[in-house]
Amino acid sequence: MTAIVESPVEQTAVEPAGLRPAAARPGEFRALELKKLSIWPPVVLAPMAGVTDVPFRSLCRRFGAGIYVNQMITARAWLERDRKTLKLAEFAADEYPRSIQLYGTVPEEIGETVRRLVAEDGVEHVDMNFGCPVPKVTRHGGGAALPVRHRLLRRIVHEAVQAAGDVPVTIKFRMGVDDDVLTFIETGRIAEDEGVSAIALHARTAEQLYSGTARWEAIAELKQAVTSIPVLGNGDIWEPSDALAMMRETGCDGVVIGRGCLGRPWLFGALAAAFDAEPLPALPDFAAVSAMMLEHAHMLVDWYDDEDSLRQFRKHALWYLMGFPVGGELRNRFARVSTLAELEELCAAVPPDLEFPTDVLRQPRSHTGGPRPVHLPEGWLESRESEEPLSRGAESVVSGG
């Protein structure tokens, strides 16, 4: 009797090693509509501090389509014309849509920043961060702590949406502080009421940080509760099959990709193929990966106009190399690379025909830590009804997650 292969998971046993099979059925999914932006496939590159700069976004955009969010900037730092923040807020000349993530806790400052980002910098999509679990942020009532003060959250979101006019505003948040303080349904409803264009849930609590697996059932719950705007799911998408599975299992309207694309900008090409029901591209061998690395490194040096910026490339180099049997010594040299010539030399020292190491496809890169208790301001949980931001302290940070 011939066995009937029913699920993609079973099929992997008989397929040659590679990405798990993934193909949307015709008409199964729709483009993500954010005011005048129509995004196909419904895929978003997650904002990642220190990662989603112009060179990385440009490389990702080359492979696929979707929306590619710039790194987070702090409203106050931008208003004060902080040089580092202004550099973070730049876009490539051909970048469309110009999408950026904003952080802040003072409604008026958020409004002013959004108004000016749109008017002066031509920003076409604003995402807002209400999920950052970093202690120096939550301790001051920002990031993942903020949704606890739901009236303050509403004021901030209101200001942003009003200031943005025709430009869509989305918000990104976690399930809550911890399992005792789950705020995601309330946050989603506030967003819906205030005219937010879409919401994205990283399906973990702040306490979880990056530990365990993302709880996709929370995305399904949010989708049931918030019905008039798109709900995007985020957490643990490593392959195109995960993106389709998340959408099928939760009913969400799009996916947000973070760590899965680190060292793998080509993932956006594979995602586009899966959503278009086209054959998935072959996994790159080392020759293709080293070509990507070199291109990425050249783009970085061009963009920052400084070979010293290769310091920022070192973490990317290790992500690109993950799983390739290059040996400890060579890997260490990649981790200290400081010139383009040196990078070329190191790449040339690796056999170009090394196959892509499929065993690391689903292995998290970058953040994996947690769980860890969340630092909240004193009395924060008892002052849920307050609509005031806590202090100026939370505005001094410029990176989050």
Ligand X SMILES: Cc1cc2nc3c(=O)[nH]c(=O)nc-3n(C[C@H](O)[C@H](O)[C@H](O)COP(=O)(O)O)c2cc1C
Joined together, the tokens standing for residue 158 give 């209101």
Q: 58 or 129, CB closer to ligand X?
A: 129
| β 67-68/43-45 pair status | parallel
Q: Is 236 left (phi over 0), alpha (psi -120 to 50) or beta?
A: left
Q: Does 234 bind ligand X (CB under 6 A)?
A: yes
Q: Find the shortest distance in angstroms from Cβ 46 to ligand X.
A: 3
Contacts of residue 37, Cβ cutoff 8 Å, sequence gap at least 6: 67, 97, 124, 125, 168
367 binds ligand X (CB under 6 A): yes
Pick between residue 301 and residue 397 the one whose CB is nearest to ligand X.
397
Contact between 51 and ligand X per CB under 6 A: yes
* 147 binds ligand X, rule: CB under 6 A: no
**Options 2-10, 44-52, 276-284, 370-378: segment touching ligand X (CB under 6 A):** 44-52
Q: Are strands 181-182 and 198-202 parallel, antiparallel or unpaired?
A: unpaired
| Among positions 109, 124, 236, 242, the unique one binding ligand X when judged by CB under 6 A | 236
Under the binding rule (CB under 6 A), the answer on residue 235 touching ligand X is: yes
Stretch that binds ligand X, among 115-123, 147-155, 230-238, 277-285 (CB under 6 A): 230-238
CA 32 – CA 233 distance, rounded (Å): 13
Which range of residues in 45-53, 86-94, 267-275, 342-350 is near ligand X by CB under 6 A?
A: 45-53
By CB under 6 A, residue 129 contacts ligand X: yes
Considering only residues 77 to 116 of the shown chain, the ones binding ligand X according to CB under 6 A are: 101
Residue 344 amino acid letter: E
| DSSP H or E segment with residue 202 | strand 198-202
Distance, CA of 131 to CA of 170 (rounded, Å):
13
Closest by Cα among 189, 192, 187, 190 to 202: 187
Q: Is 131 in the site for ligand X (CB under 6 A)?
A: yes
Whether 261 is a known active-site residue: answer no
Binding string, 239-268, against ligand X, x = CB under 6 A? ------------------xxxx--------
Can residue 187 be called a binding residue for ligand X (CB under 6 A)?
no
32-34 and 254-257 strand pairing:
unpaired
Assess 168 for contact with ligand X (CB under 6 A). Answer: no
In the chain, % helix, strand, coil (3-state, to 5) comes to 40, 10, 45
Identify the residue among 199, 206, 237, 394 touching ligand X (CB under 6 A): 237
Return the amino acid letter for 231: V
Under rule CB under 6 A, residue 46 binds ligand X: yes
Q: Give the nearest distance from C-beta 287 to ligand X in angstroms.
A: 27
Alpha helices for 91-239 (secondary structure H): 107-121, 135-138, 150-164, 184-193, 216-225
- The stretch near ligand X (CB under 6 A) out of 49-57, 181-189, 271-279, 347-355 is 49-57
Match 């998408």 to its residue by tokens: 237
**10 exposure class (CB count in 10 Å sphere: 0-12, 13-18, 19+):** exposed
CB-based closest residue to ligand X: 258
Residues noted as catalytic: 132
Where along the sequence are the contacts to ligand X (CB under 6 A)?
46-51, 71-72, 101, 129, 131, 172, 202, 234-237, 257-260, 366-367, 399-401
